[in-house]
């Protein structure tokens, strides 16, 4: 704060500054997300959700800036793992198109097998893939 | 008695508490981004941080107007 030199150890590098900004955005989006769930007043809720969306835009903006500068490399998901996951959920995925409860006509073992494969990883990998430049 | 109702808010206690937390954090973010901007040499990042600080001030104002 009291100097302009990046060589000073107390001063953030560009990478650190962007990282700090990214973490702050992650924090604030989490807060708006949680609090919007607690609203009874629809106007307050709308204000919170609008700002939540805006905070996400800022987060993505900062992220893209980091990526552009090579500060935030992302690795694509492996195709064989994607295929494996698609196979795990293929039964349920077919159910949506034909409408209604027909998707439940299959046996339930597919569903419970899916629980073991930590599905949280795919959406993240997918997004990283898309935003890769 | 009537006065009591006149002074009742549309805000729930939880909403008021949430707005307080959010106002406090948005205020902090305005300062944080201005600070980051001040200490950044890169002009592109500097002006980006200044713009983000401005956005957080707008968020603060929107939240404040809900009180």
HEC readout, B19-63: HHHHHHHHHHHHHHHHHHHHCCCCHHHHHHHHHHHHHHHHHHHHH
Q: Is B14 on the interface with A (CB under 8 A)?
A: yes
Contact B62 A51 (CB under 8 A): yes
**A57 and A92 fall within a common domain:** no
**A83 and A119 fall within a common domain:** yes
Residue B49 lies in a domain: yes
Residue B4 lies in a domain: no
pLDDT tens per residue across span A5-52? 455 567 889 999 999 999 999 999 999 999 999 999 999 999 999 999
Could you list the residue range(s) of the whole structural domain that residue B32 is in?
Answer: 16-64
Contact B66 A65 (CB under 8 A): no
User: Which residue intervals of A5-120 are DSSP H helices?
Assistant: 14-36, 42-68, 79-98, 109-115
Interface test with B, best of A24, A27, A36, A69 (most B CBs within 10 A): A24
Smallest Cβ–Cβ distance between B18 and the set A28, A38, A50 belongs to A38
> Cα(A46)–Cα(A56) distance, rounded to whole angstroms?
15
Q: Is the pLDDT of residue A53 over 80?
A: yes
Residue B6 lies in a domain: no
Q: Is the pLDDT of residue A3 over 60?
A: no
| Secondary structure class of B6 (helix, strand, coil) | helix
Q: For the beta carbon of residue B17, count every other beta carbon within 10 angstroms.
A: 13
Q: For the beta carbon of residue A28, count every other beta carbon within 10 angstroms.
A: 23
**A18 and A62 fall within a common domain:** yes
Kindly report the average pLDDT of chain A as a whole number.
77
Could you list the residue range(s) of the whole structural domain that residue A98 is in?
Answer: 79-131
**A58 and A103 fall within a common domain:** no
Residue B3 lies in a domain: no
In total, how many domains does chain B have? 1
Residue B25 lies in a domain: yes
Q: Is the pLDDT of residue A111 over 60?
A: no
Q: Is A49 on the interface with B (CB under 8 A)?
A: no
> Cα(A113)–Cα(A90) distance, rounded to whole angstroms?
12
> Cα(B61)–Cα(B58) distance, rounded to whole angstroms?
5
What's the pTM value of the predicted model, to 2 decimals? 0.72
Question: CA of B39 to nearest chain A CA: how many angstroms apart?
Answer: 6
Residue B48 lies in a domain: yes
pLDDT tens per residue across span B10-45? 899 999 999 999 999 999 999 999 999 999 999 999
**A54 and A86 fall within a common domain:** no
Q: Is A2 on the interface with B (CB under 8 A)?
A: no
Give the tokens for residue B49: 């941080």
Confidence of residue B9 (pLDDT cuts 50, 70, 90): confident
> Cα(A24)–Cα(A131) distance, rounded to whole angstroms?
20
């Amino acid at each position: 704060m009291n100097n302009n030199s990046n060589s000073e150890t107390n001063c953030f590098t560009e990478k650190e500054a962007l990282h700090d900004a990214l973490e702050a955005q992650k924090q604030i989006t989490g807060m708006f997300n949680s609090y919007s769930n607690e609203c009874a007043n629809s106007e307050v809720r709308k204000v919170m959700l609008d700002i939540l969306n805006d905070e996400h835009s800022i987060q993505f903006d900062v992220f893209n800036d980091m990526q552009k500068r090579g500060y935030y490399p992302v690795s694509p998901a492996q195709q064989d793992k994607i295929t494996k996951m698609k196979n795990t959920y293929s039964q349920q995925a077919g159910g949506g198109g034909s409408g209604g409860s027909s998707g439940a006509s299959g046996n339930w073992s597919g569903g419970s097998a899916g629980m073991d494969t930590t599905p949280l990883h795919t959406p993240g990998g997918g997004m990283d893939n898309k935003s890769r430049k | 008695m009537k006065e009591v109702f006149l002074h009742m808010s549309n805000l729930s206690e939880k909403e008021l508490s949430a707005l307080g937390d959010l106002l406090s954090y948005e205020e902090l973010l305005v300062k944080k981004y201005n600070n980051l901007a001040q200490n950044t040499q890169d002009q592109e990042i500097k002006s980006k941080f200044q713009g983000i600080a401005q956005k957080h001030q707008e968020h603060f104002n929107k939240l404040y107007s809900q009180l």
